[in-house]
Structure 1
Amino acid sequence: MSRSVLVTGGNRGIGLAIARAFAAAGDKVAVTYRSGEPPADLVAQGVLAVRCDITDSEQVEQAYKEVEEKHGNVEVLVANAGITRDQLLIRMTEEDFSAVLDTNLVGTFRVVKRANRGMLRAKKGRVVLISSVVGLLGQGGQANYAASKAGLVGFARSLARELGSRNITFNVVAPGFVDTDMTRVLSDEQRADIVAQVPLGRYGKAEEIAAAVRFLASDEASYITGAVIPVDGGLGMGH
């Protein structure tokens, strides 16, 4: 049966690939986006696009009301929205640090908490959080981003224990370096240096991340919760 699926930050990059994958499978998909406009093909697929800044609790509440009105209670939540403000620690401002945490970690708390209202009533639900290999390995100049993405692991595992008896699963996907608009702005030298660290010798594809997310939301993954699934070409080795 078609499920109500919400993907935050679903208008580009990995989030867009995830939204497309669920829509292609016949699910009722909604995406949130903070800026810009969702691609025309996404709208053509019948995907509901809702403008929402996940750092604003009122916007999160309003977004859920719109999704619930049109698609019903969210049954699958993919918390993907995130930002970066890379800077060496000595130059990183407190605002740089708190802004990344407020979006990537606290923003995820906001959307997960709101989704669980309906999931608890239904006594079922799937939540997938998009972390990063950087949250597991660390990366110079990304202390704020790494802290936010590492925090998602503890968050998901705590909720897996708290709500497992309600048939709600919480899992984490940790992508490595993926070929998206964000990584395409790197120089050829930077891209070559990154690929040299990856055992499979290439960037990942957004569709490969989406496939892992779809699996975790499928019936086949009904006994998986609290897991961290690396999709990183071997870069982190599940560290």
Structure 2
Amino acid sequence: MNKLLNGKIAVVTGGSGDIGKSIVKTFVQHGANVIFTFFSSIKEAKKLEFEFKNLVEAYKIDLSDFNSSKNLVQKVIKKYGSLDILVNNAGIIKDNFLLKISEKDWDFVIRTNLYSIYNLTKHAIHPMMKQKKGSIINMSSVVGLTGNTGQSNYSASKAGIIGFTKSIARELGKKNIRCNAIAPGYILTKMNSHFRSKIKEDWIKNIPLKRPGTPQDIANSTLFLASDLSNYITGTVLNVSGGLI
């Protein structure tokens, strides 16, 4: 196999979730050392760490905390000497109609999904600027482009990620640091398993490829944006939705 990330150091947030695990595994298979974060799924994180032994490290961290994000980047640089790839994948949902969304749930989604990207990216760009290279990939969503009933908080966070991505791409392009976003459509994960079967069926009817996506579909797209194959791509939102939008 041609290893597209040979010798690269990558940080992947939300590495114990379905999409995160696929990204971590794909990156390792392509030659990267991966440091991934998790918040609650300790069992899944330890299984993934054990599976790849010295090639993967797991860190439990609240990414919405500014100093915790700073400490993580400092640990990575101290141990590995560089940071080549940052994948801001961590995210949560607290779905409800706006009339019923509490201030607490609104704040929780925005802080977890949007503040975390600001916190980690702000610290990660310092070593990347010294290296004069780097790839940052932010996980948005098709609902950040279209909106969705009952997901005003989630949609707002994902739309914010797109604006952030495009701005950072303009700021850091002269330093040879690329920043792109991925907008997944309907992907089969535990996070959306609570949706009713009728809702899922309606989604699939509207997908031209007539199937939901898989975590590996997203991992493959992330690999492309992390690798040198995408050296002339920045500020782009890659729509991975089977043609949904």
Q: Is the structural similarity TM-score above 0.5?
A: yes
Aligned to 2:25: 20
Letter of the 2:194 counterpart:
V
**Relative to structure 2, which stretch is displaced further, 41-50 or 88-97?**
41-50
In the alignment, structure 1 residue 30 sits paired with structure 2 residue 38? no
Question: 2:48 and 2:93 mapped to 1: Cα distance?
Answer: 27
| 1:92 shift after superposition | 1.1
Question: 2:228 and 2:142 mapped to 1: Cα distance?
Answer: 26
Aligned to 1:82: 91
Q: 2:10 aligns with which of 5, 15, 21?
A: 5
In the alignment, structure 1 residue 54 sits paired with structure 2 residue 67? no
Aligned to 1:168: 177
Letter of the 1:47 counterpart:
V
Q: Secondary structure at the match of 1:115?
A: helix
Question: 2:49 and 2:243 mapped to 1: Cα distance?
Answer: 31
List per-residue Cα deviations over 1:174-193 (Å, max 9, x = no partner).
00010111223333223212
Q: Secondary structure at the match of 1:68?
A: helix
| 1:36 shift after superposition | 1.8
Scaled by the length of structure 2, the TM-score of the pair is: 0.92
**Relative to structure 2, which stretch is displaced further, 35-44 or 128-137?**
35-44
Question: 2:121 and 2:169 mapped to 1: Cα distance?
Answer: 12
Percent of counterpart pairs with the same letter?
A: 39
Question: 1:131 and 1:69 mapped to 2: Cα distance?
Answer: 30
* Runs of 4+ with deviation above 6 angstroms: none
Question: 1:49 and 1:131 mapped to 2: Cα distance?
Answer: 23
List per-residue Cα deviations over 1:121-149 (Å, max 9, x = no partner).
11111000000011111001100100110
Aligned to 2:228: 219
Q: 1:66 to 1:102 in 2, by over 3 A?
A: same
| 1:95 shift after superposition | 2.0
Letter of the 2:31 counterpart:
G
Q: Structure 2: which 5+ residue stretches go unaligned? A: 1-5
Question: 2:46 and 2:64 mapped to 1: Cα distance?
Answer: 23
| 1:58 shift after superposition | 2.1
**Relative to structure 2, which stretch is displaced further, 68-77 or 126-135?**
68-77
Scaled by the length of structure 1, the TM-score of the pair is: 0.95
Q: Secondary structure at the match of 1:49?
A: strand
In the alignment, structure 1 residue 189 sits paired with structure 2 residue 194? no
Q: 2:135 aligns with which of 121, 126, 131?
A: 126
Letter of the 1:43 counterpart:
F
| TM alignment of 1:103-182, pairs within 5 A | 103-182=112-191
Across the two proteins, how many residue pairs are aligned to each other?
A: 236
